[in-house]
Chains A and B, each alone.
Chain A
Amino acid sequence: MAELALSTVRTRRRALPAGIAVPAIVVALYVVAAIAGPMLLGFDPVATSLANRLKPPMSVLADGSLSLLGTDAVGRDLLAQMLAGARISLTVGAATLLLASLIGVALGVAAGYWGGWIDAILMRVADIQLGFPSILLAVLVAAVVGPSLTNVVLVLAVTRWVVFARVARAQTLSVKARTFVDASRTLGASDLHIIVNCILPALVAPILVVATVQFGLVIVAEASLSFLGLGLPVGIPTWGGTISAGRNYLANAWWISTMPGIALSILVICVGILGDTLRDRLDPNLVTR
């Protein structure tokens, strides 16, 4: 009887819903493509080939090779450019989230745990920052610091840490009031011990959900900044930059702007579905904004 119950539980745990499995596989494919793609199909940002200019998808190039997604205005292969762009997008997304979540969780836990002036200042800053559109802040800071990979990550982390801080603070406040925390304290546990062993474990699930939702937003924000010419320097292939460059050729080479956009869209939609499903499963009441 007990064995039967156990096996039911196991199968229920093993059956991953399609809302997680399908988008997770797609995102994993992007990661593999971003790592392995540029090795298989190298992209040289300065190489030009006049003979191969503006070739539509599925054309055979001058050297006899097949260009799956066509070429751009100076004859560079679009697929190779997009694979190199995928590497940039995913790197920026991951680095930004890592930085934003570290800062956000550290400050949010400190504010929630100790309260007082840290909390007052932090929440005020958060209110002010959420008081205006994040893209505006990103545009302003990006304009000042200038284009580079590090700067884009810094700029986007500055616009995102607040979300992590708010969730971490709220979660810390609710965990702090639980009896097992009181019990630990009674047994003589230090603040550090309580934060590491009681509070941080409770933060993992909500922060994971926030990070998933934010991942899509960060990647779109990076593409938007690159599109506006405020993201990465010219010469580094990005989806946003390629889409922007293709605008001049909409009349005779539709694929340049279209293809990177489709790649970007599929990725952010999958990340969106993943985020929604995770949120519904882990914590329906979580505010991820």
Chain B
Amino acid sequence: MPAYLLGRLGSALLVVLGAATIVFLAMRAIPGDPAVVMLGVSATPEQVAALRMRWGLDAPLPVQYVNFLARMAVLDFGQSIRLGMPAAEAVAQTLPYTVYLALAAFVMALLAGFPLGIYSALRRGKAADRTVSLLSLAGQSLPSFWVGIMLVLLLSRTLHLLPSGGAGTPEAVLLPAVTLALPLLSVIVRLVRSGLLEAMGEPYIQTARAKGLNERRVIGVHGVRNMLIPVVTVVGLELGTLLGGAVIVETVFAWPGLGRLLIDSIAARDYAVVQASVVMLVVFFVAINIVVDLLYGVLDPRVRVDG
């Protein structure tokens, strides 16, 4: 296990390093002096000179790159010109909102996705199955920003049931979470449906039926448990899409999370925060993938790696 975990951590580190490199190159690709870019046009020459000194911007590019990575390791992403605080602090303030939103969406997607998928599989080929399949295709392909706006139009503006944005009240999370959950929910429905159909064709299902188990246990214990393994893997990978989706959904609903911070910072050319939020989103994403990998071993004893 330690060797496997180390390898997994190593490749995760490589992904974070790749993301950091892209961020570094992107920041250097913006025309102009990085110090001026970081501090904004209103900075005094003294401030610019101080930052150039502190970050060694006169050094050759490879040296700058190493310094950049060293600062990143201690979470020093520089000062936010828009918010007047360290970029890392701005990220720390918004991160909990994104985690909360993503978790709410994840729970919704699981709670609705599994029953719908199982139901659809058990009614294979019937009208109900076709409806669920079509809806899940729609849920997977519809642009989430538009779905969000339509929910606001219907439930906030017209029916006045829920707030249209912000995070002021406890129920404010509902609309953004539903919007964010929809694509994942659809993916889960499709995976559960096809996974269960496949599992139900296996010989052990015949065995279970032959030994006289009632159909409930055959489906619940033998079918669902075996269907879980592929589903968990893909759902884990899809969790990352939740983070990508959060960038858009948070903007639609003015949800004060990391995604909205990123978009606002891009609009304000607040590059210190752009760097910090991209790197943190990637770290978050990679961490989720490791957890999913470990969970995989718990669910399926066959892939458990002994150390």
Contacts and interface: CB of A to CB of B under 8 A. Distances in A.
A264 interface: yes
A230 B267 CA distance: 9
A224 B145 contact: yes
Interface residues of A, number: 45
B9 interface: no
A117 interface: no
B150 A143 contact: no
A133 B145 contact: no
A271 B243 CA distance: 25
A139 B18 contact: no
Given A135-B247, A137-B22, A140-B278, A223 B157 contact: no
Contacts of B27: 144
B209 to A, nearest CB: 27
Interface string B144-177: 1110011011000100000000000000000000
A140 B274 contact: yes
Nearest to A226: B145
A284 B245 CA distance: 28
Contacts of A137: 22
A136 interface: yes
A141 B26 contact: yes
B24 to A, nearest CB: 11
A127 interface: yes
Interface centre among A140, A145, A268 (most CB of B within 10 A): A140
B26 A224 contact: no
B22 A135 contact: no
Interface string B16-30: 001100110011011
Interface string B58-88: 0000000000000000000000000000000
Interface in B227-262: 240-241, 243-245, 247-248, 251, 262
Given A144-B26, A220-B143, A131 B248 contact: no
Given A127-B15, A135-B248, A140 B23 contact: yes
B14 interface: yes
Contact of A139 (B14, B137, B145, B263): B263
Interface string B274-298: 1000100110011001000000000
Contact of A261 (B18, B22, B29, B150): B150
Interface in B192-247: 240-241, 243-245, 247
A250 B137 contact: no
19 contacts: A124-B14, A127-B14, A128-B15, A131-B19, A131-B285, A131-B286, A132-B286, A139-B263, A250-B149, A257-B150, A258-B153, A261-B143, A264-B146, A265-B138, A265-B142, A268-B141, A268-B143, A269-B137, A269-B142
Given A137-B22, A268-B143, 12 more contacts: A132-B281, A132-B286, A133-B247, A133-B281, A135-B245, A135-B247, A135-B248, A141-B26, A143-B266, A143-B274, A223-B145, A250-B157
